[in-house]
Amino acid sequence: MSHLDNIPSTPGKFKMEKSAYIHRVRWQSSITKLTFWSLIILGSILIFFYRSPSSSPLSSDPSRRSLSTYDWGGPSWEKRVRSSARVRSRNGISVLVTGAAGFVGTHVSVALKRRGDGVLGLDNFNNYYDQSLKRDRQALLERTGVFVVEGDINDSALLKKLFEVVPFTHVMHLAAQAGVRYAMENPSSYVHSNIAGLVSLLEVCKSANPQPAIVWASSSSVYGLNTKVPFSEQDRTDEPASLYAATKKGGEEIAHSYNHIYGLSLTGLRFFTVYGPWGRPDMAYFFFTRDILKGKSIPIFEAADHGTVARDFTYIDDIVKGCLASLDTAEKSTGSGGKKKGPAQLRVFNLGNTSPVPVSDLVSILEKLLKVKAKRNIMKLPRNGDVQFTHANISLAQRELGYKPTTDLPTGLKKFVRWYMNYYSQGKKADA
């Protein structure tokens, strides 16, 4: 006979033995506890997803670096946003700068603010490289009057809110996953920021009323394996040598479609190896400086048959001038509320220096400035994203933007080294 056979069909009349009763009370209390904790866990999961910065399926990707939840909103937050974006000069523009705590973003934001434009920064402060450098740039921006909202460009609720609070006339879109080699370690971070993030931003821009004009950073890396130099905007760009390059090329095509369908004014800037104070620790000129000072050997790549690897190094101040000129010459978007009203401007410019320098010469300049001999480790150029040379034809930018780079590599590196020595003499560690 099974124990279930003892239980009568009318439970209220059944008098349970004491041990069975205690057993049942304990069982019921366990069920209550289980239900309670299940509700707590379920609630926490719901809150997490509700507050998650990204609505993209990639947002749950654990390989992506440092995407957490951000706090934004509320009257005092909105007040800071408004005040930062307030235009203070006649004919000034109000610009949302994405990637504002990044290298180029910081310089562009300061330059805009100084001439009286309204500037609001947005950055997710990810840990692709030393976050304290990004925080120090943020502090610099705060001192200049630029508020940097902490958030991800995939967070469309945040972007919509920003456009509700400020009718930005322009967006300077610099947020991206940069670097070519890191793509082998974390490919989805490139898709997240450079593809999904760009679409998320353009979606909000196309629905904004008025639609802003957008200037954004593509890259010289779109020229990929091209051998005809100097690289010109009319050249083919269908042989990217890295996932980074492929996402920038993809970005240019996405820009084309949003311009075509929604009338968004879009200008893509192909930057050529930008360097300077507050630069990026993952770039060669930066970590060469660190490693030469530490007495560590530095890898200098050469191509097949001892071919020279050269870069068209472009000083940050020249890039900033090109960015501001692009914003100033950008025509208005033609759509409104997600509807196109007529054809809109679509441009792509090379922003380079037009004088490629072999990487070994870069090292010689650094040796002189640092007064330390480098330990050079000559290596074959790996086939993991880097190309042998870059060289910009800038005649289009010269003609349309009045772009004219004025800083040569020795002059620019001198300024970088001065900043580096000063910054890292304050007890900070120069780890990438």
Ligand X SMILES: NC(=O)c1ccc[n+]([C@@H]2O[C@H](COP(=O)([O-])OP(=O)(O)OC[C@H]3O[C@@H](n4cnc5c(N)ncnc54)[C@H](O)[C@@H]3O)[C@@H](O)[C@H]2O)c1
Q: Is 65 exposed, middle or buried (0-12, 13-18, 19+ CB in 10 A)?
A: middle
DSSP secondary structure letter of residue 162:
H
Note the helical H segments in 295-402: 316-329, 359-370, 395-401
The reply to whether 190 belongs to the active site is no
Task: Restricting to residues 159-188, name those near ligand X by CB under 6 A.
Answer: 174-178
390 in helix, strand or coil?
Answer: coil
Does 197 bind ligand X (CB under 6 A)? Our answer is yes
* Shortest separation between residue 109's beta carbon and ligand X, angstroms: 11
User: For the chain, what's the residue count?
Assistant: 432
Residue with tokens 């879009």: 266
Does 273 bind ligand X (CB under 6 A)? Our answer is yes
CB closer to ligand X out of 125 and 262: 125
* Shortest separation between residue 56's beta carbon and ligand X, angstroms: 10
* Shortest separation between residue 155's beta carbon and ligand X, angstroms: 8
Q: Is 143 exposed, middle or buried (0-12, 13-18, 19+ CB in 10 A)?
A: exposed
Angle at 102 between CA 97 and CA 103, to 5 degrees: 110
CA distance 230 to 388: 13
* Shortest separation between residue 195's beta carbon and ligand X, angstroms: 11
Stretch that binds ligand X, among 56-64, 272-280, 337-345, 392-400 (CB under 6 A): 272-280
Catalytic residue, candidates 128, 129, 244, 420: 244
Identity at 352, one-letter amino acid code: G
Query: Which residue among 81, 93, 96, 101 contacts ligand X (CB under 6 A)?
Result: 101
Residues near ligand X (CB under 6 A), total: 28
Query: Which residue among 56, 94, 103, 138 contacts ligand X (CB under 6 A)?
Result: 103
Query: Which residue among 58, 72, 94, 105 contacts ligand X (CB under 6 A)?
Result: 105
Does 110 bind ligand X (CB under 6 A)? Our answer is no
CA distance 242 to 352: 20
Cβ–Cβ contacts within 10 Å for residue 116, how many?
A: 14
Does 237 bind ligand X (CB under 6 A)? Our answer is no
* Shortest separation between residue 410's beta carbon and ligand X, angstroms: 18
Catalytic residue ranges: 244
Where along the sequence are the contacts to ligand X (CB under 6 A)? 98-99, 101-105, 123-126, 134, 152-154, 174-178, 193, 197, 217, 219, 271, 273-274, 280
